[in-house]
Amino acid sequence: MTIYDIPGIVAIAFPLSATSNNISGSFRVSEISSFNRDIFLESEFMASYVTNRPYLTTNKSGNIDIDANVNLNLNDAKLKPLPKVSPRNTKTNNRRKRRTAILTDTPVKDELERESNCY
């Protein structure tokens, strides 16, 4: 069997598998078509019963003293102040601008070497 045989096999198998019963059956299980309450069995939902337990709460008994003289004059700036902005970088770029050149070309290379030796 070669890669060239695959279109012939698919041409035979695909129409047999793409029947209207297979296609509508897929929509029926996912409940996209008409509503069917009994499409899934109860056994398919058993995994969710593991977490189906009552929520346990602990009741804290006791009196809590509440201070009636609480200062409620709060605003957002007191709770969470705005962050300070750092100053902008005012340093200028002192890089010398050059023209496009082939750096391995002999005259350009010689000039670059002379400039680098000066610094």
Tokens, residue 37: 């309450």
- Chain centroid to CA 25: 34
Report the pLDDT value the prediction gives residue 92, as an integer from 0 to 100.
74
Tokens, residue 65: 């003293």
pLDDT tops 70 at residue 52: no
Q: Where on the phi/psi map is residue 39: left (φ > 0), alpha (ψ -120 to 50), or beta?
A: alpha
Task: Quote the pTM value.
Answer: 0.21
102 CB-contact burial (10 Å; exposed 0-12 / middle 13-18 / buried 19+): exposed
Give tens-digit pLDDT for 25-41.
777 666 565 666 777 78
Q: Residues of the chain with pLDDT > 90: what percent?
A: 1
**What gap in Å lies between CA 33 and CA 26, rounded to an integer?**
10
Report the pLDDT value the prediction gives residue 36, as an integer from 0 to 100.
67
Give me the residue spans of the domains in the chain: 3-51
